[in-house]
A = this chain, B = another copy of it.
Amino acid sequence: VNKRRPYHHGDLRQALLTASVDLIRELGRSEFTLREVARRAGVSHAAPYRHFRDKSDLLAAVAEEGFERLTASIRIAADRGRQPFERLQNAGVAYVDFALKQPEHFSVMFSVDLRQDHASARVAAERCFAELVTLVAACRDERPGNGETTLTSARIAWSQVHGVAELALRGQLPFSSKKELRRFAILATETIGRGLGLNDRAPRS
């Protein structure tokens, strides 16, 4: 603990977010307490109330930050691909990657009830999904697809990668290394792309 820290912290808000993520990583969502977060940020337990209305407001901010990072990860991954489906698939794999690399963010993103009160977190989530829709739409510009609307196709694809991410996080998929899991994610996205008629590569049959 740095004793020379001045009375005013500088960027306590961000420090609290970072500390929250660390805390959740170490102890899990259910052990998350405001007082411990404050302790870790080297600040009195009342200080967070300068920056967040209450505990759930802080968690909503963590979720919002998480969605922003996820959106960025997806975008970067997609941009590494050339063909539309390759771009979509990269995004899907990035989604799973994100869940495993930042499980603490991921679990908060989908556990806080964003629909009430915390509008900015909800907006961040919607922006993230919009990214996925764009990638699906690009695939369908090239191929006719299989009859589902773009939106429906996107939701099905999202469900697929979300399921892989969730099960992997809960240890329900028997992969010991991230590499193995990544390979599985590639298989799963390929499969769903084939099912949706979005995959521009030849089916393997």
Using CB atoms and an 8 Å cutoff, list the residues of chain A in contact with chain B. 29-30, 110-111, 113, 115, 125, 144, 146-148, 152, 155-156, 158-167, 170-173, 184, 187-188, 190-197, 203-205
Contact = CB atoms under 8 A, between A and B. Distances in A.
A33 to B, nearest CB: 12
Contacts of A203: 146
SS of A interface (majority): helix
A186 to B, nearest CB: 11
A200 to B, nearest CB: 14
Contacts of A195: 190-196
**Which of A111, A148, A172 lies at the interface centre, i.e. has the most chain B CB atoms within 10 A of its CB?**
A172
B156 A188 contact: yes
